[in-house]
């Protein structure tokens, strides 16, 4: 039984088995957001839900999907679906990955470990953030069998950046994702209203405080002098002077597949591949960096047209339902990343919440594919869509 049929059956069966208690279940993104707002502090909720400026880019990401309509086809046997994809030699059951999100300890006590375990239960890769509260090694140890990638926030200190890469390799990460769009924090009005930046409170620094290169630059261990460690983090986080020459160095530093995240312009996409990137992630950081930026889906169309079909191009930003996944793949994405969606599930119900959110997304995706006349990703391209 495919995941869509199975998930539907399990939900409807809850009434027959007495598991349904009478209150509406969390099914949609909106349901999970509402429930998360009930359980999180205002600071934590808006750190997750907010964006830069007035939130124009966040809204545009979602609205971009409404510009396209799926054109269902009939007379096609879709009784059995194979929605798997191969990326960098690994066969993934679905073209969906979990985007890197830092500071997950403000969402749930088990933080990143719960999120990774939830992702592993549905077979999806999880991208560990440089800004995770738990060190990378702890996450890998407590979630054996999970498929991990590592996201690198480039540091002003190259020793720290190189140490992070070495640790990712040693922990068994399958790929390295470099975030390019956060050389500094954006003007995030919701966080500024509450003067809230969790890093300054010691959250989200697990990889830094445990890193030998970072610790070597401190006069005293962070356990004895946390204030000095946090101050050092503020001095080395981000790299406004980052150029393509730095990418040349990184390409020589690791053999891991290298993906560059935060690309929105076709010229930058071309340059990324010319400099040796194995893939790119079209992303505007979920609307958290430049307010009024181009939606990720619109940028995907232009970038795919420029770089051709053979390059690995992923995207994130605004993916909320199965139909969004179908549209993104039809417009040229090899796979999509989801971020806030699973984070709300984590806030509401930890590991089980993450698994449930992802299972419902994949079920929706599976059923949308079948009802549109597609039983594999090989038949899905722009001809499956029409402009609204």
User: Annotated binding residues for FMN, as ranges?
Assistant: 100-102, 129, 151, 179, 261, 283, 316-320, 339-340
Q: Is 184 exposed, middle or buried (0-12, 13-18, 19+ CB in 10 A)?
A: exposed
Joined together, the tokens standing for residue 285 give 């950081």
The catalytic residue positions are: 285
C-beta of residue 98 within 8 angstroms of C-beta of residue 380: no
End-to-end CA distance of the chain: 33
- For 72-87, give one letter per residue: b (16+ CB within 10 A) or e: eeeeeebeebebebeb
DSSP result, 50-102: --STTSHHHHHHHHHHTTEEE----S---SS-B--EEETTEEESSSEEEPP--
Binding site, by residue number, is 47, 100-102, 129, 151, 153, 179, 188, 261, 283, 285, 288, 316-320, 339-340
CA angle 369, 341, 315 (to 5 degrees): 65
Q: With residue 338 as reference, give the H or E element that holds it.
A: strand 335-338
**Cα 327 → chain centroid:** 18
Torsion of CA 296, 115, 347, 5, to 10 degrees: 80
C-alpha separations of 377 from 70, 270, 328, 335 in Å: 15, 25, 12, 10
Cα gap 369→83, rounded to integer Å: 9
Structure tokens belonging to residue 201: 């409170």
Which of 254-272 are b and which e, b meaning 16 or more Cβ less than 10 Å from the residue's Cβ? eebbbbbbbbbeeebbbeb
Residues linked to residue 336 through DSSP beta bridges, in sequence order: 96, 315
Query: What is the C-alpha separation between 77 and 70, in angstroms, rounded?
Result: 18
- Total number of residues shown for the chain: 388
């Amino acid at each position: 039984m495919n995941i869509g049929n199975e998930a539907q059956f399990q939900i409807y069966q809850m009434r027959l088995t007495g598991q349904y208690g009478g209150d509406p279940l969390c099914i949609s993104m909106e349901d999970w957001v509402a429930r998360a707002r009930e359980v999180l502090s205002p600071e934590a909720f808006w750190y997750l839900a907010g964006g830069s400026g007035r939130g124009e880019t966040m809204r545009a990401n979602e609205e971009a999907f409404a510009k396209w309509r799926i054109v269902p086809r009939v007379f096609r046997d879709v009784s059995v679906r194979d929605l798997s994809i191969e990326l960098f030699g690994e066969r993934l059951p679905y073209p969906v990955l979990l985007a890197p999100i830092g500071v997950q300890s403000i969402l749930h006590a088990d933080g990143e470990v719960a999120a990774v375990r939830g992702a592993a239960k549905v077979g999806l890769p999880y991208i560990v953030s440089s800004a995770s509260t738990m060190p990378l090694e702890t996450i890998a140890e407590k979630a054996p069998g999970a498929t991990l990638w590592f996201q690198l926030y480039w540091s002003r200190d190259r020793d720290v950046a190189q140490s992070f890469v070495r640790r990712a390799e040693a922990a068994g990460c399958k790929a390295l994702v470099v975030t390019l769009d956060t050389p500094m924090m954006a003007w995030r009005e919701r966080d500024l209203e509450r003067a809230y930046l969790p890093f300054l409170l010691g959250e989200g620094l697990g990889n830094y405080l445990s890193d030998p290169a970072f610790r070597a630059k401190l006069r005293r261990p962070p356990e004895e002098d946390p204030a000095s460690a946090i101050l050092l983090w503020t001095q080395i986080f981000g790299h406004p002077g980052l150029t393509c020459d730095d990418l040349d160095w990184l390409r020589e530093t690791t053999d891991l597949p290298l993906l560059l995240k935060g690309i929105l312009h076709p010229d930058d996409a071309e340059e990324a591949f010319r400099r040796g990137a194995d893939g790119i992630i079209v992303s505007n950081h979920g609307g958290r960096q430049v307010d009024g930026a181009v939606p990720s889906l619109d940028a995907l169309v232009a970038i795919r047209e420029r770089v051709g079909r053979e390059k690995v191009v992923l995207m994130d930003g605004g993916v909320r339902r199965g139909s969004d996944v179908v549209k993104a793949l039809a417009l040229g994405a090899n796979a999509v990343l989801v971020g806030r969606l699973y984070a709300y599930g984590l806030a509401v119900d930890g590991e089980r919440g993450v698994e449930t959110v992802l299972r419902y997304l994949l079920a929706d995706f599976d059923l949308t594919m079948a009802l549109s006349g597609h039983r594999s990703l090989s038949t899905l391209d722009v001809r499956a869509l029409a402009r609204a």
